[in-house]
């Protein structure tokens, strides 16, 4: 597999992630071979606080980045000295002999700016001290999610080296803790944003509803676990904007009211079965996501539905969106489970395509970067 070897860094939130992979095929048939993929989670650090604390995330990234970097190259045939960092993330003792790479990529946004800066500064130090001749490229975290479907092997014709033309046009749903975005994709590099959340992202609503229910952080997996034992029809929670067919609202989302309705319901029904509440909340949120996605598929005669982002790890959402896609007769594309939550493999994939397009993002933290 002749191609480009990419080292990618992801620190947009509370996971310190690095990945080394080989990319080839160009824009017509991009292929990725993961050489090594490591993620250092901070869940236990943030759990007592009920959510991610930016300054704690920054501290953990500064501590973990040199360690994970060293582990990426922990192969007997590679020789290196230990890498350490100062409080500012500067590399010390960086006399390292490592395999040649062709591209160094780092997430520049969107995300928590204190967390993003740690990755950006670490990447700059790697560029300065270890990879002086290697191009450094800033990557968009959302493009990473968008392109993560390419990490599945089901997107190319078995007898062709060209990306399956039956995939496009596609409707892509990015559902995460920070974003809920619906896109119409004409091709791998051409898309139009149809709508996004006006307030809470769906993943944020899951986390907040979980906190209201007294569940630990992160709330998404806990809601799913509790909901498995509940009745999704038990509580008639609202489906915000599900029937809004106006030009400005039919592909927009709003989840803050749904979350608040959980708060009020439990206030008025303190003895309610929490499993029923969790199941009813989950169904309400997923109903909205599926309704909007299906509406876009029908309007734009899409051939595929793409699901990505941290909330794509929710089995209930995956199963129901797959079922809806099957009923509409369209492809359903979702990344392997390991690549739904934040990771550096998807950042490398985005950087590869971005590099081919000669698209550039400034190498600085951009917390509000969008598509």
The domain locations on the chain are 4-146+341-357, 166-334
HSE on the CB side for 288, CA within 13 Å? Answer: 31
pLDDT at 275: 98
Distance, CA of 55 to CA of 58 (rounded, Å) = 5
166-334: in CATH 3.30.420.40: yes
Contact 310, 112 (CB under 8 A): no
- pLDDT above 70: residue 223: yes
Is-same-fold flag (4-146+341-357; 166-334)? yes
pTM: 0.90
pLDDT tens digit string along 302-317? 999 999 999 999 999 9
Q: Mean pLDDT in the chain?
A: 90
Residue-wise pLDDT tens digits, 150-208: 987 555 554 445 567 689 999 999 999 999 999 999 999 999 999 999 999 999 999 99
Residue 293 phi/psi, 5-degree rounding, is -65, -45
Q: Using CA atoms, how far apart are residues 163 and 33, in angstroms rounded to an integer?
A: 16
Q: Architecture of 4-146+341-357 per CATH?
A: 2-Layer Sandwich (3.30)
């Amino acid at each position: 597999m002749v191609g480009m070897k990419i080292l990618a860094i992801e620190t947009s939130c509370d996971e310190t992630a690095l990945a080394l992979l080989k990319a080839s095929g160009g824009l017509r048939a991009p292929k990725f071979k993961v050489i090594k993929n490591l993620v250092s989670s901070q869940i236990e650090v943030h759990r007592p606080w009920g959510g991610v604390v930016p300054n704690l995330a920054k501290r953990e990234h500064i501590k973990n980045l040199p360690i994970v970097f060293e582990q990426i190259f922990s192969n007997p045939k590679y020789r290196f000295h230990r890498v350490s960092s100062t409080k500012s993330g500067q590399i010390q003792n960086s006399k390292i002999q490592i395999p040649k790479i062709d591209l160094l990529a780092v997430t520049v946004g969107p995300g928590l700016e204190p967390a993003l800066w740690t990755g950006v500064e670490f990447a700059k130090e790697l560029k300065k001290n270890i990879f002086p001749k290697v191009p450094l490229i800033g990557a968009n975290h959302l493009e990473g999610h968008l392109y993560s479907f390419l990490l599945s092997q089901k997107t190319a014709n078995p007898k062709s080296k060209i990306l399956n033309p039956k995939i496009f046009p596609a409707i892509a749903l990015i559902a995460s803790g920070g974003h809920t975005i619906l896109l119409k994709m004409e091709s791998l590099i051409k898309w139009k944003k149809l709508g996004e959340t006006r307030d809470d992202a769906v993943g944020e609503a899951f986390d907040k509803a979980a906190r209201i229910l007294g569940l630990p952080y992160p709330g998404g997996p806990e809601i799913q676990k509790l909901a498995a034992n509940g009745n999704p029809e038990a509580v008639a929670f609202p489906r915000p904007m599900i029937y809004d067919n106006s030009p400005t609202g039919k592909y927009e989302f709003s989840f803050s009211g749904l979350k608040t309705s959980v708060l009020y319901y439990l206030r008025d029904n303190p003895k309610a079965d929490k499993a029923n509440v969790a199941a009813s909340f989950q169904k309400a949120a997923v109903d909205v996501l599926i309704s909007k996605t299906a509406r876009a598929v029908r309007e734009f005669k899409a051939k595929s539905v793409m699901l990505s982002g941290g909330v794509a790890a929710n089995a209930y959402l995956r199963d129901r969106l797959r079922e809806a896609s099957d009923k509409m007769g369209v492809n359903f594309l979702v990344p392997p489970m390991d690549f739904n939550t934040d990771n550096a493999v998807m950042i490398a994939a985005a950087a590869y395509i971005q590099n081919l397009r000669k698209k550039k993002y400034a190498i600085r933290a951009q917390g509000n970067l969008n598509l």
